[in-house]
Chains A and B, each alone.
With several copies, the nearest count.
Chain A
Amino acid sequence: MKFGVIVFPASNCDLDSYYAIKDMMGEKVEYIWHEEEKIEEYDCIIIPGGFSYGDYLRCGAVAQFSKVMDAVKAHAEKGKLVIGICNGFQILTEAGLLPGALVRNRDLKFICGTAPLRVENSDTAFTNKLQPGEVIEIPVAHGEGNYVAQDEVLQKLKDNGQILLTYQENKNGSKEDIAGIINEQGNVLGMMPHPERACDPILGNTDGRKIFESMISYLKGGR
């Protein structure tokens, strides 16, 4: 099993994701440069947080132009796993791999802290080690994490169980308190909070591990 962490110019949580997988989860992981076109060898792609291409114009807007994103689309179409965290979530919506969009936080300020998240659907590749209704504490750090989508889209997300995680305390204004969603096929997750920041005991919080444990268990065929 091998994870790949994409590195765009000005990604900056690439390192955090890399060490979370390598040192904390003990799995194989490599960085993938944004100009890479071949990513077949990876079982799961992590699109990390940061400010790809400076996040100018709109967060994640320019990243969809990069070569690796075509490869990520193909990877996702094959049903393999993709997780976009923070900027990665923004990139996935900009690239059309997930519905909706992420706009400026309701209070117009960047927010950094820890958010209690409720697990809405635990029957997925990303949440199978969690209980429905369970609350996990996951760090957040974003200026544009306010999830918006048309009402029909939101309804569909709800009906299909595509909303995986919701904020207990909605500080950015997201519709339906959405913190993380999956695509219809269930193999692409986008979430604003940072599970990779909650894996190492020295940081005082390991709730994020359960997300990665779920993915690893899914990839091992164990569920």
Chain B
Amino acid sequence: MKIKVYVTLKDSISDPQGTAIQGALTKKGYEGVKSVRIGKLIELELSDRPEAEAKQAVEEMCEKLLANTVIEKYTYEIV
């Protein structure tokens, strides 16, 4: 089964990479780029299992490794 995990910076944490890309886009002439924030998309392929089990496993992986909850938040979906 496939799971997509989205890890993004908490709103209070600044994102220099996003800011740099916003600047680059604006410099290239794209108007109205109000903000850019960069996160991670992690695609997991897990062996099939009941949804509840999968959720539990994924949440644990996120808490322990995939996200650093000091600065990041995460969401995920089973696809």
Contacts and interface: CB of A to CB of B under 8 A. Distances in A.
Physical contact A–B (CB less than 8 Å): yes
Interface of A: 53-54, 56-58, 61-62, 65, 93-94, 99-101, 103-108, 146, 148-150, 173
7 contacts: A57-B40, A61-B68, A62-B21, A100-B70, A103-B13, A103-B16, A146-B16
Contacts of A57: 17, 21, 38, 40, 65-66
Given A57-B21, A148-B71, 4 more contacts: A58-B68, A65-B65, A101-B71, A107-B16
Nearest to B42: A57
A56 B40 CA distance: 12
B27 A104 contact: no
B70 A108 contact: no
Interface of B: 12-14, 16-17, 20-21, 24, 27-28, 38, 40, 64-66, 68, 70-71
A101 B40 CA distance: 17
Contact of A62 (B38, B40, B65, B70): B65
A92 to B, nearest CB: 12
Contact of A101 (B14, B16, B70): B70
Contact of A54 (B12, B13, B16, B38): B16
A94 B69 CA distance: 10
Contacts of B16: 54, 56, 103-108, 146, 173
B27 A65 contact: yes
